[in-house]
Chain A
């Protein structure tokens, strides 16, 4: 994407992921490419079922083993292809170099272990040489970093509120100071005032530790406030990507991106009626040969139904559309 390789922490090329069962094949991620600059935050935007979480799980190599399959592509992390790693080297990467915060803080903590046990487990696993006292000191340090009093470390998850639990989960993800943090809708389950606290804390930590981030969200507001670059996903494809300026203030957009912006009720302006995108996302088991957005697109052409549009780019900004793409590809 026009950057020197050294500046790129994560580089995904042509990734295709399917979920295969006896009955059907779900084409969850279709040939996507994206990259995250070192110290940058990439926002991955899309609706339910667009393939955002599948992309994240592919990076973590945590796809369900019985059904999930990576058909092709490469995921280069810091110069190495994660897809070539064996289980053992993946285990030492996960949690130490790349870690992930899951959407629901209520279910991602173990209810029968104290918070200190759970954070300590990660630290111990990746730093076997540390003594008990050193691990405990590191737990205290991590907890105070996310704004939780270390005196509460021997409490169980149910004794914390939702926002506090999400802080614990973030603390767990950050305790080994990973180079890449994947945050999968980290604030969706939280109230707005608590969401503001957690987002401010994440922004602060990122600036202090220089962590690169993949921020998965469906909230364009969060993208505008926290991300440097944006990739918009639809039906397993990245249909538009670029810097936040390209997406939020640029002139040229994919029709789906425009539809997404028109769907959100805006606080600054008053409109009488919202302009939703008609219809629904296509069934990922029955994708067409043409553009996946064509059935819902207002400016659909004949060619859109027949062939998949190429990705065209103007600088860093890329669009996958027959009509709105950059000319002179």
Chain B
């Protein structure tokens, strides 16, 4: 891929799988064969509806959840088999920002203590003074006035709390951060403040993000590359401009069409609505995961998993119908 340039990926997964065992031996396919590469200083957007496995993917990459199979590489090293103790030094380089700024922060610690906590755990400074001085610097960096240092989280609003979560993730100077829906609990005007902050920090500190969200407009804004997930699998992957101009997978098309646009000229346009709801991820049979809701599904879709095929440079999709159409067009033009 042209994006890659000469640099090697910071984070890479190969055929990553996480199956949860349920009562009675059933298997829930949360993440089902994901291959991805995230390069330094870049953002991979991961979009999908609730239950598609996007959060599990983020947590599995950080090894907060043990993968069932597949491999995870960080800076070229295979970290799949590392145990908790061996992971600890790696954690300084890979952090996470959680969705809910209300429940992801210890309510009994003051703002500055929350921010300093990770630095104490990793013994970054020899004394408390140094740690708190650094925590205060971090508050400046994320735009939290120092007068909030001794307040408790419940005294702050959602936007400011999310800034605490960001400062805490930055405290260990990571090179990679998983942002798990960091703005979906916030109001639009605050959402924009936090998105701008995350992009500024990326420029300043050279961070790589994996940005997990259900909101396509947010991911378009912030990503270098976007991966659309459906039931644990990647259905389409491309750079934002390409994905929004030429969505190829029927699911991506439906997802894009379903977003209500703030434009009254599109008011009475008939939008294609996909039928039904996400099928259960338990004990999945082979075949395209989207086939049950797809208007174009064919016999083959229900028997075999489609492969992820590159249809134009850097644009991958996994769909039998689209690939068939394209190869027919190709044959006709020849």
Residues of A within 8 A of B (CB): 47-48, 161, 163-164, 191-197, 199-200, 218-226, 244-245, 248-249, 259-268, 270-271, 273-278, 280
Contact = CB atoms under 8 A, between A and B. Distances in A.
Given A200-B271, A277-B192, 6 more contacts: A161-B277, A192-B49, A195-B258, A221-B259, A263-B188, A277-B189
B273 A267 contact: no
A275 B221 CA distance: 12
B277 A274 contact: no
B187 A47 contact: yes
Interface in B223-274: 241, 244, 254-264, 266-267, 271, 273-274
Given A193-B254, A221-B259, A276-B189, A265 B199 contact: no
A193 B274 contact: yes
A219 B218 CA distance: 14
Contact of A266 (B195, B217, B264): B217
Nearest to A191: B49
Given A265-B217, A276-B190, A244 B264 contact: yes
A163 B255 CA distance: 16
Contacts of B257: 196
Interface in B277-304: 277-278
B33 to A, nearest CB: 23
B56 interface: no
Contacts of B196: 273-274, 276
8 interchain residue pairs of minimum CB distance:
A221-B260, A276-B192, A196-B258, A274-B192, A220-B262, A265-B221, A191-B49, A263-B192
B220 interface: yes
Given A47-B189, A193-B49, A225-B267, A274 B221 contact: yes
A260 B189 contact: yes
B274 A225 contact: no
Q: Classify chain B: how many residues form its interface, as a range.
A: 35 or more
Contact of A267 (B50, B192, B216, B267): B216
B214 A225 contact: no
A263 B277 CA distance: 31
Contacts of B274: 193
A217 to B, nearest CB: 9
A123 to B, nearest CB: 27
Contacts of B50: 191
B190 to A, nearest CB: 7
A194 B50 CA distance: 11
B110 interface: no
Contacts of B263: 224, 248, 268
Nearest to A221: B260
B214 A224 contact: no
Nearest to B52: A191
Nearest to B219: A265
A192 B256 CA distance: 9
B217 to A, nearest CB: 4
Nearest to B274: A193
Given A263-B191, A276-B193, A245 B264 contact: yes
A270 B223 CA distance: 12
Contacts of A271: 221
A270 B217 CA distance: 10
Contacts of A264: 188, 192, 217, 262
Contacts of B262: 220-221, 223-224, 248, 261, 264, 266
Contacts of A273: 196, 199
Contacts of A261: 262
20 contacts: A47-B187, A164-B277, A191-B214, A191-B278, A192-B216, A192-B258, A193-B274, A194-B277, A195-B258, A221-B259, A224-B263, A224-B267, A225-B266, A244-B264, A248-B262, A261-B262, A263-B189, A274-B221, A276-B196, A277-B192
A297 to B, nearest CB: 13
A199 B221 CA distance: 25
Given A224-B264, A225-B261, A192 B255 contact: yes
A187 to B, nearest CB: 9
B307 interface: no
Given A224-B263, A245-B264, A248-B262, A47 B188 contact: yes
Contacts of B182: none
A186 to B, nearest CB: 13
Given A194-B277, A274-B195, A267 B244 contact: yes
A278 B143 CA distance: 12
A271 B196 CA distance: 12
